[in-house]
Amino acid sequence: MNSIQRAVFSLLWYARNELNEETLIMDADVLYHEKLLEKLVSSKDKNCFLLDEDFEDSGEEMKLFVVGGKVIGISKQSSYDCELVGEGVGFLKLSAKGGAILKDVLEEFERNGKVNVEYEDALHELLPHCTVGFERVGDLPWIEIDFEADIEKANNEILPRLQICL
């Protein structure tokens, strides 16, 4: 794990007292079409991820595992018997109740010294205590920008599609 991943967990930790109302948690390194955010915010699910079924599994992707229309796991490993697997976009809508549960999870991580983790580890621990649905990305463009190649793909493939989709 790198220092950026630890920093993201730390940011979520420091924001924990803001989780007492409806909340959006969004990875900052994602270039996305605005309709994805609209889809997430308007979802009938009070707690909801964005899920992309059309992904290549290189082992770097944070995957969402779904059973019965609900996300049951988050992991880079494919270790779940489930009905659907998709890449998580890195966006999560939480209700006030879901946020309170996540706050409890974060505080438990802190008490147990489990702080050098990715923030998705805390989200994974949230799932047994909070029902979280998902919305499909469909053909709306998005990309997580982690590497130089991602910048090239964003410039050559995603940005032109954003213009078309407007």
**Residues 153 and 68 sit within 8 Å (Cβ to Cβ):** no
3-state secondary structure (DSSP) of residue 31? strand
Query: How far, in whole angstroms, is CA 60 from its chain's centroid?
Result: 14
Residue 31 has pLDDT above 50, yes or no: yes
pLDDT of 26 > 50? The answer is: yes
pLDDT of 1 reads 44
Band of residue 115 on the pLDDT scale cut at 50, 70, 90: confident
DSSP β-ladder status, 63-67 and 84-94: antiparallel
Residue 8 has pLDDT above 80, yes or no: no
Which residues have C-beta within 8 Å of that of residue 107, sequence separation ≥ 6? 16
Please give the pLDDT value at position 67: 97
pTM of the model: 0.90
Domain ranges for the chain, please list them: 3-138
> How far is CA 42 from its chain centroid?
16
Q: Is the pLDDT of residue 37 over 60?
A: yes
Residue range 117-160, pLDDT digits in tens: 888 999 999 999 999 999 999 999 999 998 999 999 999 999 99
Residue 165 confidence (pLDDT): 60
Superfamily of domain 3-138 in the CATH hierarchy? Spore Coat Polysaccharide Biosynthesis Protein SpsA; Chain A (3.90.550.10)
- Answer yes or no: are the C-beta atoms of 130 and 98 closer than 8 Å: yes
Q: What residues does 79 pair with on adjacent strands? A: none
If one compares 90 and 60, the residue with the highest pLDDT of the two is 90
